[in-house]
Structure 1
Amino acid sequence: MKKIGVLTSGGDAPGMNAAIRAVVRKAIYHDVEVYGIKYGYQGLIEGNIEKMELGSVGDIIQRGGTKLYSARCEEFKTEKGQQKGIEQLKKHGIDGLVVIGGDGSFRGAEKLTEKGYPCIGVPGTIDNDIPGTDFTIGFDTALNTIIEAIDKIRDTATSHERTYVIEVMGRDAGDLALWAGLADGAETILVPERNEDFEDVVQRLKRGHERGKKHSIIIVAEGVGSGFDFGQRIKEATDLETRVTVLGHTQRGGSPTAADRVLASRLGAKAVDILISGKAGRMVGIQNNKLVDHDIIEVLDQKHSIDMEMYQLSQELSI
């Protein structure tokens, strides 16, 4: 393998730049040329491809976002779109591809591998919803962003004796909500993986109020529903003064934490090693602090789940 490509696709995540840097420098270390594909699969279709050197990835390890940019691409889901991408890979003489992104990005990598272009997936998403890895690139940074915001909200919740509903990202996964709620001592954590009875939430708030509790923090994962809708229901059911905060895209931005920089560097380098060894259709990950790789199709067939022991602990500590 003499030439490889690298792209980022789907939602951006802090640490993607560190992963790009690792791919480029690891490949050059092995005398393999690297080509950056801008704007994900859309850029692949359009031929937005440029050769990358050591200096191309200088001073980006600390930056959030992605140097290669990202975009959604419905066209690449079609046979015609995939063929356009393959034509561009042939045009530039690219032998294999490293895809940094989430499950949607991996499905594109799967299709290319099936058509003869080896791909390796690197899990980059703040949602932490990819099976086969304990953590995804960006999760730790987003988590710390949420915790910092909740800490500030708790200050004002205490001052005004209010109930705060905080909606966090995560798509259909509850990891961000669960980890942030446990770390910040939230009274209630609502995640898509558990069907929490609304009446139980109300009774928990009332019990706390009756024993003199002046404020409460409720974390709602976006996969459960609207934080504003839930806040309105809480207010109507309890008559407690309630405020809602939707953290939104602040969770995706910012300089990546040390944990994300190290994880991204390890996974990016591992992806190159696997690719140049002749393997294809794999996803790299980390389990029990050990680097692993899995068949990408098997990963996509699995369903993500939260740590139920952590969820139970959050329930026990929020009595």
Structure 2
Amino acid sequence: MKKIAVLTSGGDSPGMNAAIRAVVRKGIYSGLEVYGVYQGYAGLMNGKIKRLDLGSVGDIIHRGGTILYSARSEEFKKDESQYLAIEQLRKHEIEGLVVIGGDGSYRGAAKLTEKGFPCIGLPGTIDNDIAGTDYTIGFDTALNTVISSIDKIRDTATSHDRTFIIEVMGRHAGDIALFSGLASGAESILIPERNHEINEIVQKLQKGIERGKKHSIIVLAEGVCSAHDLAKSLEKDYQIETRISVLGHIQRGGSPSGFDRVLASRLGARAVEVLLEGRGGRAIGMQKQKIVDNDIMEILSQKDPLPEGVYTLSQQLSI
């Protein structure tokens, strides 16, 4: 193998640039030519491919977002589009591809591998919802962004004796809400993996009021419901006045944490090694501090489990 490429796909996450840097520099160190594919799978189909050198990835390890840009592409789900992508890669004599992204990005990498082009998946998503790895690139940074925001909101909640509902990202996975809620001492944490009765939320709030507590924080994953809907229900049915903060895309931005930079560097370097070993269709991850690779189709068939111990602890400590 003499030439490989790297792309980022789907939602951006802090640490993607660190992963790109690792792929490029590990590749060059190993005697490879490394190419960047711009704007994800859409850019791949359109031939937006450029050779990268050491200087191309200089001074990016600390930057959020992705220098290769990202995009979502419904068109790429078609077989003919996947064959077109392979044709574009082969025009440049590229023999392997590293894909950084989430579940949808992995599916694209798996399809290309099935069609004879070896791809490696790196878990780049703030949601921490990819099986086969304890943490995804960007989760730690997003988590700390949310915690910092909650700490600031709590100052206001304390000053004005109010209940705040803080909506965080997580349509299908509640890791951001769960970990940030535990770390910030939230009174209630609502995640899509669990059914929640509004009566339970109200009972917690009322118990707090009875013991003299005048402010509360509810952390809500967007996959449960909207903060506005929850606020309306609490006010209409229980006369509990709330304030809302929807953190939105601030969770995806910012300089990656030290943890995410190291994780991305380790995973990116290992992706190059796996390609050089002649293996495709692998998903790189970290389990128990060790870098591992698993069959990407097996990873896609699994659901990343909720950390039950963390959820139980959050319930015990928020009494």
In which range does the TM-score fall when normalised by the shorter chain?
A: over 0.9
- Alpha-carbon RMSD: 0.7
Specify every segment of 5 or more residues in structure 2 that has no aligned partner in the other structure, as ranges.
none
| CA shift for structure 1 position 237 | 3.3
User: Is 1:108–2:74 an aligned residue pair?
Assistant: no
- 2:305 aligns to what? 305
| Partner residue in 2 for 1:44 | 44
Counterpart of 2:142?
142
Q: Deviations for 1:30-63, whole angstroms, at most 9, x for unmatched residues? A: 1010000000000000000000001000000000
**Secondary structure at the residue paired with 1:316?**
helix
> What corresponds to 2:220 in structure 1?
220
**Residue aligning to 1:293:** 293
Read off the aligned partner of 2:29 and give its amino acid letter: Y
- Corresponding residue for residue 176 of structure 2: 176
Shift of 1:236: 2.4
Matches within 5 A, 1:53-92: 53-92=53-92
Give the alignment of 1:1-319 within 5 angstroms. 1-319=1-319
- For residues 60-108 of structure 1, the C-alpha deviation after alignment (integer angstroms, 9 at most, x for no partner) is 0000000000000111000111111011011111100000000100000
Percent identity over the alignment is: 66
- 2 CA distance for matches of 1:249 and 1:113? 32
Q: Deviations over 1:288-314 (max 9, x none)?
A: 111011000000000122111111111
Aligned length: 319
Please give the secondary structure, in 2, of the residue aligned with 1:305. Answer: coil
CA contact (8 A) 1:177 1:190 kept: yes
Structure 2 SS opposite 1:99: strand
| In structure 2, C-alpha distance between the alignment counterparts of 1:307 and 1:192, rounded to whole Å | 13
1:207-240 CA-partner distances (Å, limit 9, x unpaired): 1112111000000001111111111112223323
Check the 8 A contact 2:171/2:192 in 1, yes or no: no
Q: TM-score, normalising length from structure 1?
A: 0.99
Give 1:203's aligned amino acid. Q
Q: What secondary structure does 2:293 align onto?
A: strand
1:157-211, Cα deviation, whole Å (9 max, x unpaired): 0000000000000221000000000000000000011112211111111111121
State how far apart, in whole Å, the 2-side matches of 1:269 and 1:178 are: 30
Q: Which stretch shows the higher mean deviation, 180-189 or 191-200? A: 191-200
Deviations 1:117-172 (A, max 9, x none): 00000000000000100000000000000000000000000000000000000221
TM-score (norm 2): 0.99
